[in-house]
Structure 1
Amino acid sequence: MANPESFPDMAAKDMDDMMANAKNASDFLKAISHEGRLRILCHLVSGEKSVAELEHLLNARQAAVSQQLSRLRQEKLVTTRREGKAIFYRLADDRSRRILEVIHDMFCSTH
């Protein structure tokens, strides 16, 4: 918990909420801080992709892609859909899409 003297006018519940939000933001940033996971998420901004499509787009082995997808599922950043033997991944929510669009604008756009 934060030092109460740092925020003397903040109610205990507000401080607890701030700490929980900071933890959630930190966990999200840790999850996207890996280059491979970030590349997967960037590809998913444009829509759902199968594992095979992601392997091709990333020029990576299935085991490496699956490992990163597993972490993204664990962090609830992606969801899956099965069609026969194929598994398709998509971003779990609009929050992730908005953040990734900002990252794209910051680092990938030509200004």
Structure 2
Amino acid sequence: MDLNLASQHLRLLADSTRLRLLLLLEQEELSVAELAAILQLAQPRVSTHLAKLKEAQLVIDRREGVSVYYRRASDSSKQELAELWQLLSKTTDDPLVQQDRERIPQVLASRNGGGSWADAVAGDMERHYSPGRTWEATTRALTALIGLGDVLDIASGDGVLAELLAPHATHITCLDISRRVVEAGRRRLANFDNVTFEQGDMHALPLDDASQDTVFLMHALTYTTQPQQVIREAARVLRPGGSLLAMTLAEHKHKKAVAPYDHSNL
């Protein structure tokens, strides 16, 4: 890389707005309007920066109807520029960047017409961060060691856990209160014969007594103000000797940070 090319690359990435855009687009696919809302900048300014990043092959776009969504390019012929960006992305740590990331769930909910965070990411939940999702790594490590029998996954979302557990279970019932999430889960796991999705309330489970060998409450209790009732219902549907596994966030003071995720039990 000669001095002229090095200078061009450095000028491109010397702008803080372009760095913020790249960090956002590495995490989420977003439109100009959504990026402008997150960065709290005018759309023309955002569009100008995106044009430069696209020309440099650092971002690509995708059209969906009348909307255009941008994301970080996974491949680029400009290897030196891509390597420079990777170095910056790994070492950039700024409160403004964190604020940008915290606005993503609100923007996704608005894309969904004001629906919940879960509705906004239905069918694609494993790509989206939300507080308390660290259980997934633990689950991946443990699933090969256990036989689960008939499983109930309460507040299942679109089936991330069920997809991991299906090879080790006789049958999995995924229950969620959101119709849209349930429909997304059915599409997502359509090829799994032993997984079914039901729309229902975890406070009054639509299942028979003693019908399940294992019940999961993975990050479900943060969505209720009546956790005791939810646990009573989970115990009701368990067979004698069955297992109930629950994980949730500990009490915390970060109400603003979790507000976009519709948590009830803080």
Judge same fold: TM > 0.5, yes or no. yes
Point out the structure with the larger strand share.
Answer: 2
For structure 2, the 5+ residue unaligned runs are: 76-81, 96-266
Name which of 90, 105, 108 aligns with 1:102.
90
**What is the CA–CA distance in structure 1 between the aligned matches of 2:25 and 2:47, rounded to whole Å?**
14
Task: Give the structure with the larger helix fraction.
Answer: 1
In the other structure, the counterpart of 1:50 is: 31
Cα deviation, 1:17-65, whole Å, max 9, x if unaligned, reads x53xx55444322211112111111111212111121011110111111
Runs of 4+ aligned residues of structure 1 deviating over 6 Å after TM superposition are none
Instruction: Give runs of aligned pairs for residues 1-111 of structure 1, distance below 5 A.
Output: 18-19=1-2, 23-93=4-74, 95=82, 98-104=86-92, 107-108=93-94
Aligned Cα root-mean-square deviation (Å): 2.3
Query: Aligned residues: percent identity?
Result: 36
Distance in 2, Cα, partners of 1:73 & 1:92: 9
Give the match's secondary structure for 1:49: coil
| Residues in 2 aligned to 1:38 and 1:25: alpha-carbon distance in whole angstroms | 17
TM-score by length of 2: 0.30
Q: Distance in 1 between matches of 2:19 and 2:5?
A: 17
TM-score, normalization by structure 1: 0.65
* Structure with max Cα Rg: 2
Give the count of matched residue pairs.
88
